[in-house]
Amino acid sequence: MSEPIHLKSAHSLRDAIRAKEISAREAAEAYLDHIDAVDGDVRAYTDVWREPALARADAIDSQLAKGEDAGPLAGVPIGLKDLICTTEGTTACCSELLKGFRSPYDATVAEKLYAAGTVVLGKLNMDEFAMGSSTENSSVVTTRNPWNLDCVPGGSSGGSAAAVSAHECAISLGSDTGGSIRQPAACCGCVGMKPTYGRVSRYGLVAFASSLDQIGPFSRDVEDCALTLNTICGHDRRDSTSANLEVPDFTTSLTGDVKGVRVGLPKEYFTDALGVEIRAKIDSAVKVLESCGAEVVEVSLPHTEYAVATYYIICTAEASANLARFDGVRYGNRAPDTQSPEEMYKKTKSAGFGAEVQRRILLGTYVLSSGYYDAYYLKAQKVRTLIKQDFDAAFEKCDVIVTPTTPTPAFRIGEKSDDPLSMYLSDIYTISANLGGNPAISLPCGLTESGLPAGLQIIGRPFEEGAVLQSAYAFEQNSGIDLGVPTAIAESVS
């Protein structure tokens, strides 16, 4: 019996569709049926676009029937995080305030993915406005970890990670402001990458923290990650912060070889805060890279301990302004029966935003306030520069930096809901790459004894995604690690 469609990687599915062994419609139907089977447990999707997806798949099939090139991801079923604007369906950022909101335009990444031939299956769950590390802050539902339904999938792109891990789509997009792609990828045992800041257009990504946000892919292997990057990267004149640089074919970096590559291990990351089990996984991962010819060096990122504080000042400051527009005046759910603009703002925001979003808006408003700006925001910007300089100095000595993605595997649902500080520390290893703007990937490096995935993070120099992918691919191909189908959904998959 041949492999079920939804177990194939995106690239092998694409090849089969191009070769007309499988039709795009069959692929879409297989995935939609699988969503029906498992999403009651996983709860990754907030909106499934069955009819539009099938119509789109038919269009791809007729393109292929006419002998046309249907794109590098022809017929590949994908999912999008609920903060990527699409004219199809709704874009609600999993917030009550934007519930039912229909975007009048498509995000640049959505346009690019349509042009590449993908079939979008729907929108994926997330922490409201991307604020959180567990998807528990979603106003819609809490997504569950496909490896253990009692655990969180991580966040904020928890739906995107869980959907790929549970084979509910071949590829998905998420966004990463402080680790929101890499941390859930680690928790769910899939590949997740945050490209360099400026590599992917943010036009159409509902902003959380503009100077940190970056869109990136989730996939089940490194090759699919590279393929997706080929499609979504590139300059966009609608985003002034997108880099006007040539985008290489990232698949050419997938050589399987890391001979002469200098792998840096930052000593500040390997402290007592790191769980023993995860540490062991990282140690053996480093050995794999070494055995493939990499040279391991110790490096230092001395300002690491300030990263979390710096991050929470900058991201909340930017968020306080970015979320100001959700006032119920032009769109979104306006509180009824108010008598003045001020009352309308207060009631709309109090009813529409969840607790974590309100907390961050207040924090951000505070750090920008007259009299506090210099002590908080300005100081944080200075430390951010130091953290960038740390990376520059470290990358003099090495070509990629290898760290754990998270200090612990996925935690249990509800475990940290009342403790925002401990929740914030879930991103302790991922935040620095956002502050520095560096590309970083998380890929699976094994299961813990409790059967939960651990993630290996590889960080590169800005705009050297190729180097990151090269090391990630070499590890993936030589480690012998294949997590297989997540245990919690294995029954439905057979």
Partner 1 sequence: MTYEPVIGMEVHVELSTQSKVFCGCSNDFHAPANSNVCPVCLGMPGVLPVLNGRAVEYSVLVGLALNCTISRWSKMDRKNYFYPDLAKNYQISQYDLPLCHDGFIDIEVDGKTKRIGITRAHLEEDTARNSHTVAGRESGVDFNRCGVPLLEIVTEPDIRSADEAYAYLSSLKQILQYLDVSDCNMEEGSIRAEANISIRPTGTEPFGTKTEVKNVASFSGTQKAIEYEIKRQTKILDDGGTVDQVTMGWDADRGVTVTQRSKESAHDYRYFPEPDLTPIVVDEAWETRLRKSMPELPQVRRARFMEEHGLSEYDASILIADKAAADYFEQTVSAGAPGKLAANWIMGDLQALMTEKQGTINALPITPGHLAEMIGLIEDGSISGKIAKDLLPEMYDSEKAPGDLVKEKGLAQISDTSVLEQMGADLIEANPGPAEDFRNGSERAIGFFVGQMMKATKGQANPKLANEIMRKLLQQ
Binding residues vs partner 1 (CB under 8 A): 83-85, 91, 93, 98, 101, 103-105, 107, 202-207, 209-211, 237-241, 317-318, 320-321, 324-327, 329-331, 341-342, 345, 365, 368-370, 373, 377
**Least CB distance to partner 1 at residue 197 (A):** 10
Read out DSSP for 289-332?
A: HHHTT-EEEEE--TTGGGHHHHHHHHHHHHHHHHGGG-SSSSSS
Q: Which is nearer to partner 1, 168 or 176 (CB)?
A: 176
Whether 253 sits among the annotated catalytic residues: the reply is: no
- Measured from the CB atom, the residue of 194 and 281 that comes closer to partner 1 is 194
Q: At what angle do helices 465-478 and 222-232 cross, to 10 degrees?
A: 160
CA 246 to chain CA mean position, Å: 23
Tell me the C-alpha distance between 312 and 331, whole Å: 28
Instruction: Work out how close the CB of 203 gets to partner 1 at its nearest, in angstroms, rounded to a whole number.
Output: 5
Q: What is the dihedral of CA 349, 351, 353, 356, to 10 degrees?
A: 120
User: Residue 461: which residues within 8 A CB-CB, separation 6 or more?
Assistant: 391, 395, 399, 438, 467
Residue of 81, 112, 194, 416 with catalytic role:
81
Q: Which is nearer to partner 1, 37 or 368 (CB)?
A: 368
Look up 300 and say whether it is catalytic: no
Are the CB atoms for 93 and 133 separated by under 8 Å?
A: no
Closer residue to partner 1 (CB): 148 or 320: 320
DSSP state of 196: -
Question: Shortest gap between Cβ of 282 and partner 1 (angstroms)?
Answer: 33
The answer to whether residue 287 is catalytic is: no
Q: Which residues contact 22 (CB under 8 A, 6 or more apart)?
A: 5, 13, 16, 75
Nearest CB to partner 1, comparing residues 319 and 454: 319
Which residue is listed with tokens 């041949």?
2
Of 95, 138, 156, 426, which residue is the catalytic one? 156
Which residues, in sequence order, are CB contacts of 24 under 8 Å at separation 6+?
17, 57, 58, 60, 61, 64, 70, 74, 75, 119
Q: How far is the CB of 201 from partner 1 (least distance, A)?
A: 9
218 φ, ψ to 5°? -110, 140
- 437-443-445-448 Cα dihedral, nearest 10 degrees: 90
Q: Nearest approach, Cβ of 394 to partner 1 (angstroms)?
A: 25
Query: Do the Cβ atoms of 467 and 253 come closer than 8 Å?
Result: yes
Helix, strand or coil, per DSSP, at residue 440: strand
Give the nearest distance from C-beta 233 to partner 1 in angstroms.
17
**Minimum CB separation from partner 1 for residue 195, in Å?**
17
The contacts of residue 259 (CB under 8 Å, 6+ apart) are 292, 293, 294
Instruction: Count Cβ atoms below 10 Å from residue 204 Cβ, excluding itself.
Output: 22
**Least distance to partner 1, CB of residue 323, Å:** 9
| Residue tagged active-site, from 95, 133, 180, 242 | 180
176 forms beta bridges with: 214
In the complex with partner 1, which residue's Cβ is closer, 385 or 450?
385
Smaller CB separation from partner 1, 64 or 313: 313
408 within 8 A of 275, measured Cβ to Cβ? yes
Nearer to partner 1, 130 or 191 (CB): 130
CA atoms within 13 A on the CB side of 250: 28
Sheet with 77-81, edge to edge strand ranges: 45-48, 119-124, 77-81, 171-176, 214-219, 191-194, 440-447, 453-460, 400-404, 262-266, 295-299
Q: Smallest gap, in angstroms, from Cβ of residue 210 to partner 1?
A: 4
Are 46 and 493 contacting, i.e. CB atoms less than 8 angstroms apart? no
Q: Distance (Å, rounded) from C-alpha 219 to C-alpha 28? A: 17
Based on CB atoms, which residue is closest to partner 1, 270 or 331? 331
Which residues form the catalytic set? 81, 156, 180
